[in-house]
Structure 1
Amino acid sequence: MTLTEAVTGSAASAGALDGARYRASLDDGREVWLDGERITDVAGHPAFAPAIAELSRLFDLQHSPELRDTMTVESPETGNRISRAYQLPRTLADLTAKRRNADVWMRETWGQHGRSPAFMATIAVGLYDFRHRLATNRPEFGDNAVAYHRYLSEHDLVLAHALGDPQIDRSASPVDHPDHALRVIEENDTGIVVRGAKQLTTLAPFAHEILVYLSASFAQRGAEEFVVWFGIPVNTAGLKILCREPLGAAPYGHAHPFGSRFDEQDAMLFFDDVLVPWDRVFLLHDGALAREGLVRINAWSQYVGQVRYRERLRTLLAVATLLARSIGVDGFRNVQEDLGELTSFVNILDHFLDAGEATAHRTDGGLIAPGPTPAAAVWAAEVASRAVEIVRRIGSAGILMQPSENDLAAPELRPFLDRYMHGKTLPVDQKSRLFRLAWDLTHDGFGQRQDLYEVVHRGDITRNRINLFHRHDQSEVLGRVEELIGKPLRAQGRGE
């Protein structure tokens, strides 16, 4: 069945997902592996169930009377209600509506879902917007991008993307070691056959579709044959998903309030001679076009990503503020300075978002895109660890040692906990839960993963800084300085 038939035929979708449909859709024969075991019931597995329950709750919000119009919109093609995240923004009002939808997703997840469905859907919007340029590679590839966006939006599918290549020997060219990167091993009448791997595909076991792109750097290394963009269902034959160790597990009753709910999972993908039908291929063997497209198709995801990071910073600031109050250090000058620094991060991100909307423009694909703010990616990577460090500094050793809910419920222990582990403003039970939030955000496996994510997911910061420098137009001020130094500099105050 082609993508067009999947939207218009008997398998036409009912539009925006709800939780029940989402959970049922994961039982599709996908090959998911965890700790040497193939997982046959992804939705019901204890390592995945809390995260899937959280995603299901979010999909249910799309149908709530209070949020229906914020989170969904009527499809102009079918009349279905589809996610605002998949909406093609043709006006500034459409763009700001996408931001309001993202606000809901990111607020409900405390800024912890870096690759939420609301984020990933915007990349499909970018792929659609880039359709005319993809058609210069092959005419049908532009049509494929249009059909793929419509297929995803009308079914409200959860998208994951596969970008990174295996860390084997980054100093070697894939031409010399073909198995070090994903590559096309065959083209036939049906499609292309790919073999290889992609690493760190966030959300893969919880998604419906995998979008493979990036690969632009291969062109610079004389390996254009490794440049390929396509999208496939997660349950495609030959695709194996290897999950990392789950985070947020709760041994001995110690709760992980964020880790248990918001662990998106990161996975290694193995493509064992996977057939990709031609109507799912978007770009082949054109590194220059891939480099151009990498910026273009992420215009909306960067915008929504800033909405998400702002919410994460707001969460860190709120927890840090309550930590300081709970132990009576909120009046200390150094603590107020730290909180002021964290507040400045929130305010700066507000300005980046406003700047993107103030400089919004119509693309050559006909959509309204936020103005580019590449400095935001550099800045966010620079301050991410500092934001976490401020929470650590304020909570200090108290973050490490807090009683569990079972400790609090033990009659023999509770008098000692009430006497020695309460706070200035909070009883022991509320204080322990607050400090456990801080632990989840900053110290445990989930917190460490989130911190690493903030540093790496925007790409290499050195490369981003270099690109920022090269793209910055200095021509006017350079000309003025050159004119200034082209003449003798006269000393002042000598009557000259």
Structure 2
Amino acid sequence: MIRTGQEYKDSLSTDRAIWVNGERVKDVTTHPMFAPIVDIRARIHDMAHEQATREVMSYIDDTTGQRNSVANKLPLTVQDWHDKRSAIDAVLDEARGVVTRVGDETVGEMWSLFDGQDVLDEVDPRFSANIRRHIDRAVREDPFHVSANTDPKGDRSLRPQDQDPDMLLHVVRETDSGIVVRGAKYETAAAYANQAFTKPTIANWGDSELSDYAVGFILDMNAPGLKYICRTGFAGRAPADDYPLSNRVDEVDTLVIFDDVEIPWEDVLFYRHTRAATFIRSTLHRYSALPFTYRNLRLADLMIGAALWNVKQTGLERQQAVQEKLAQLACYREGINAHLTAAIAMGTTSPGGLLMPEQSLLYTGRVLATTQLPAMMHLARELCGGQICITPDAASFANPETAPWLEKYYSINDGWVADDRRRLLAFARDLLNSDYAGHRLTFQLFAQSPPFAHLAAVYRNFDWEGPLQMVRSAAGLSDRVAGGATR
């Protein structure tokens, strides 16, 4: 059944080997750099129980009669996807910011492999049985599921065998119980998650010698041999009054070290199977790209809101130049919305029987959302004005010696007093200008895959045949002209 927030916190073993800032972390649920985001993840569980949000966050399974999470539900209908969007809205409203790696964006990666069961069966039917069991477990047991994708990689001009082989995660031996793996992965939220879909990142699987690296499995984050080395969190580094988002919704990224970690056979999804590795790399985001890209829509809403409040405060909203910039932000937001809404409406049945968003629309929407984000952030900075980078801190507004001056120069009228002005500027600074803002910008550009991979996904899924045939007819080309959109 669906868990409570406390049950989630209790599932995070205090025996995990976690470090941040050179410090060994005894308990991520109370450590100041982890506690805010852990609390948000716990709230997601609790929201599924509370009267005000239960119907949005959960559903009753027709077969078992149990209440399960909407985020983990297999998408079978258009309505299922609309329900997922509503659940994301509820979570982000509660967080009062954008959180990405909280489970709904990563669980869909398993659904892609669910569609490839025939590929898994080529090696061992146990592997397709494993993916079915883990998907069912995700629905029934409500774990916090994340994604393990990027390796350190080392020198990319060399094959893994020609350098330290541990630069890419690989199998070092088999046991009666499973496989033993060594290497490292970068994983956002790993230190406070329950499990991860761990998969390879090599793009070219033509070399059979790479088969030891062609491995995918579900990782229990409490497994012995794992070590978590985290980047410095933003929470607690500066006062929350000055950096509200940094202190509330920072998601901590981690280098996860696999020091001869044994993966039970029942958790292995494919192994020594380069075709399965190729399949998962090409289809990995056919579902997860939708909730991932939906975060950009919500980020656009935050930028529009911050910019619009600022021009309203300063009386500039009627100027044509200001309205044009706001319209550009609105076009960006609605462009994302249109792609996602159409991808759902035109969805098709996948090989596994799921409702798969129309892939060309989904991937082109993702390209729009990620490639235009830097320009939209800069546009929002322009609308917020230079005060977001020069406004004094909250302590100065509270100090009796400086407060009267700041009250004088930051009060605009009876409706906009200095404290409201300071709060808006602090929020906009953290959203657009802070260390946290810069990190989030890079994260959004590379979190699912780098921009070239986004374009490669578009190339693989766009219907090139339609334009070819249109021009064949319009130009009067003979039937001898070779067809085929991907030649």
TM-score, L = length of structure 2: 0.91
> Whole-Å Cα distance in 1 between the matches of residues 14 and 53 of structure 2?
29
Cα distance 1:126–1:84, how it changes in 2: closer, same or farther (>3 A)?
farther
Question: Residue 82 of structure 2: which of 70, 93, 96 is its match?
Answer: 96
Cα distance 1:362–1:43, how it changes in 2: closer, same or farther (>3 A)?
same
> Whole-Å Cα distance in 2 between the matches of residues 295 and 108 of structure 1?
34
Q: How many angstroms does 1:288 deviate by?
A: 2.9
Question: How do 1:182-193 and structure 2 match up within 5 A?
Answer: 182-193=169-180
Cα distance 1:18–1:253, how it changes in 2: closer, same or farther (>3 A)?
closer
Q: How many angstroms does 1:250 deviate by?
A: 4.3
One-letter amino acid of the counterpart of residue 266, structure 1: D
Moved more, 116-125 or 353-362: 116-125
1:179 is matched with 166
1:451 is matched with 441
Deviations 1:318-368 (A, max 9, x none): 111112222333233322211110000111111112111111121121222
What 5-or-longer segments of structure 1 have no aligned partner? 1-14, 488-496
Deviations 1:451-478 (A, max 9, x none): 1112112422224324434543333433
> Whole-Å Cα distance in 1 between the matches of residues 181 and 38 of structure 2?
30
> Is residue 122–residue 298 contact of structure 1 (8 Å, CA) maintained in 2?
yes
- Is 1:321 the counterpart of 2:321? The answer is no
One-letter amino acid of the counterpart of residue 57, structure 2: M
1:290 is matched with 277
Q: How many angstroms does 1:173 deviate by?
A: 1.1
- Is 1:47 the counterpart of 2:33? The answer is yes
Moved more, 39-48 or 419-428: 419-428
Moved over 6 A (4+): none
Question: Residue 332 of structure 1: which of 296, 319, 337 is its match?
Answer: 319
Q: How many angstroms does 1:167 deviate by?
A: 4.4
2:371 is matched with 382
2:382 is matched with 393
Question: Residue 48 of structure 2: which of 57, 62, 65 is its match?
Answer: 62
3-state SS of paired residue (2:121): helix
Question: Residue 236 of structure 2: which of 238, 249, 259 is its match?
Answer: 249
1:169 is matched with 155
What 5-or-longer segments of structure 2 have no aligned partner? 479-487
2:350 is matched with 363
Moved more, 336-345 or 293-302: 293-302
> Is residue 21–residue 232 contact of structure 2 (8 Å, CA) maintained in 1?
yes
1:270 is matched with 257
> Whole-Å Cα distance in 2 between the matches of residues 370 and 106 of structure 1?
22
> Whole-Å Cα distance in 2 between the matches of residues 396 and 469 of structure 1?
39
2:405 is matched with 416
Q: How many angstroms does 1:218 deviate by?
A: 4.7
> Whole-Å Cα distance in 1 between the matches of residues 19 and 422 of structure 2?
35
1:225 is matched with 212
Cα distance 1:475–1:363, how it changes in 2: closer, same or farther (>3 A)?
closer
1:350 is matched with 337
Question: Residue 435 of structure 1: which of 407, 425, 432 is its match?
Answer: 425
**Identical residues among aligned pairs (%):** 26
2:141 is matched with 155
> Whole-Å Cα distance in 2 between the matches of residues 466 and 194 of structure 1?
30
Question: Residue 95 of structure 2: which of 104, 109, 116 is its match?
Answer: 109
3-state SS of paired residue (2:257): strand
> Is residue 95–residue 369 contact of structure 1 (8 Å, CA) maintained in 2?
no
3-state SS of paired residue (2:254): strand
Moved more, 57-66 or 190-199: 57-66
> Whole-Å Cα distance in 1 between the matches of residues 183 and 437 of structure 2?
31
One-letter amino acid of the counterpart of residue 426, structure 1: W
Q: How many angstroms does 1:227 deviate by?
A: 1.2
Question: Residue 450 of structure 2: which of 441, 460, 477 is its match?
Answer: 460
3-state SS of paired residue (2:105): helix
Deviations 1:91-123 (A, max 9, x none): 333333223222222333355112122222333
Cα distance 1:250–1:466, how it changes in 2: closer, same or farther (>3 A)?
closer
Moved more, 319-328 or 459-468: 459-468
2:66 is matched with 80
Q: How many angstroms does 1:301 deviate by?
A: 1.3
1:299 is matched with 286
Moved more, 297-306 or 71-80: 71-80
Deviations 1:252-302 (A, max 9, x none): 675321111111110101100100000000011233322323444533211
One-letter amino acid of the counterpart of residue 195, structure 2: E
One-letter amino acid of the counterpart of residue 451, structure 1: L
> Is residue 347–residue 355 contact of structure 2 (8 Å, CA) maintained in 1?
yes
> Is residue 73–residue 83 contact of structure 1 (8 Å, CA) maintained in 2?
yes
Cα distance 1:323–1:334, how it changes in 2: closer, same or farther (>3 A)?
same
Q: How many angstroms does 1:88 deviate by?
A: 1.8
Cα distance 1:271–1:21, how it changes in 2: closer, same or farther (>3 A)?
same
> Whole-Å Cα distance in 2 between the matches of residues 401 and 270 of structure 1?
41
One-letter amino acid of the counterpart of residue 73, structure 1: Y
3-state SS of paired residue (1:235): coil
Moved more, 456-465 or 265-274: 456-465
